Amino acid sequence: MTASSPEAPLLRIDAVTKNFGGFVALDNINVEIRKGERFGLIGPNGSGKTTLVNCISGALRPNKGAVLFGGEDITLLAANQRSHSGIARSFQIPRPFRSMTVLENLMVALDFAARRELLETETHRRDAAMSILTRIGLASKALVATTTLTQVELRKMELARAMATGPKLLISDEAMAGLSASEVDEVLDLLMSLGGEDVAVIMIEHIMQAVMRFSERVMCLDAGRIIAIGTPAEVMANARVQEAYLGS
């Protein structure tokens, strides 16, 4: 495999099919995501967005097809191994470690991080966690129990925890659901700043302005199939996308 060549995609979803009993959640999905790309994933409820994310992050295994990351087949790897190879995610409904403080939530990621050269001692890890929290804007909440956080703080904490694993691909699963307009902007700016040269971001979102502003490319799923993929403007203009969202 040519893992290091610049043309090789960071993530390749190769003919992935996932069904739950008779229900086909993902039907022969093929897509590639480049290094550092900002990728929007949209689609009506139940179209398979989260299932796709679960297949990428390892929470589910596809029935058919393969997931390649950095040129390596990761279809059969456990979620923690995928985390070590550079895939991180947030959850649609936040899943903090409830018995811990915000800082400790990040410490879990750093304790078990794959690249440990700079994380040898507890002090190093603590500093690393604090610097991520500062970047995310949660430094003042570091020693607070996660149970006392507000919704937007929980979302940010999940992104911070995901970043603490040192990802090359960050998947944000509806990190803006249920937030106010100003909070949406806040989280969007955050995601913009987290993505970049080294970190590709897949953003699942229902808030269209956010997806349009954020994404370099957008893919729209409907009933487990890709119905459109391209620049945000192209996808928005697509008749099938409009039909999926608004009805015919």
Partner 1 sequence: MQRSSILFWAGAVIFLAVVFFMTQSLRNEYPFFAGYVILQFIVLSVAWTILGGYAGYVNFGTNAFFGVGVYTAVLLFKALGAPLGIQILAAAVVGGLLGLGVGLLTLRMRGIFFSIATIALAIVIETAITNWRFVGGAAGIQLQRPPVMPPFDSYVKMLFFVQALMVVIAIAITRFIQNSRIGRGLHALRDDELAAECTGVPTLRLKLLACVISGALISAGGAPAAMYLQFANPDSAFNLNYSVSVLAMSLIGGTAHWIGPVLGAILLGSTQQLLAVTISSEVNVLVLGLMLVLFVVAAPKGIIGLVGRLTGKGGHA
Q: Which residues of this chain interact with partner 1, rule CB under 8 A?
A: 57-59, 78-81, 83-84, 88-89, 91, 95-101, 104, 107-109, 111-114, 145, 161-162, 164-165
The nearest distance, CB 93 to partner 1, in angstroms, is 11
The nearest distance, CB 7 to partner 1, in angstroms, is 29
* Neighbouring-strand partners of residue 88: 170
Distance, CA of 248 to chain centre:
31
Q: Are residues 218 and 229 in contact, defined by beta-carbon separation less than 8 angstroms?
A: yes
Name the residue nearer to partner 1 (CB basis): 154 or 241. 154
Name the residue nearer to partner 1 (CB basis): 19 or 101. 101
* Neighbouring-strand partners of residue 75: none
The nearest distance, CB 118 to partner 1, in angstroms, is 16
Name the residue nearer to partner 1 (CB basis): 97 or 245. 97
Instruction: State how far the alpha carbon of 35 is from the alpha carbons of 52, 182, 193, 245, in Å.
Output: 19, 29, 15, 30
Name the residue nearer to partner 1 (CB basis): 8 or 79. 79
The nearest distance, CB 111 to partner 1, in angstroms, is 4
Q: Are residues 100 and 149 in contact, defined by beta-carbon separation less than 8 angstroms?
A: no
Q: Which of 172, 178, 190 is nearest to 150 (CA)?
A: 178
Q: Measured between alpha carbons, how far is 173 from 89 in angstroms, rounded to an integer?
A: 7
Name the residue nearer to partner 1 (CB basis): 26 or 53. 53
* Neighbouring-strand partners of residue 29: 16
The nearest distance, CB 170 to partner 1, in angstroms, is 12
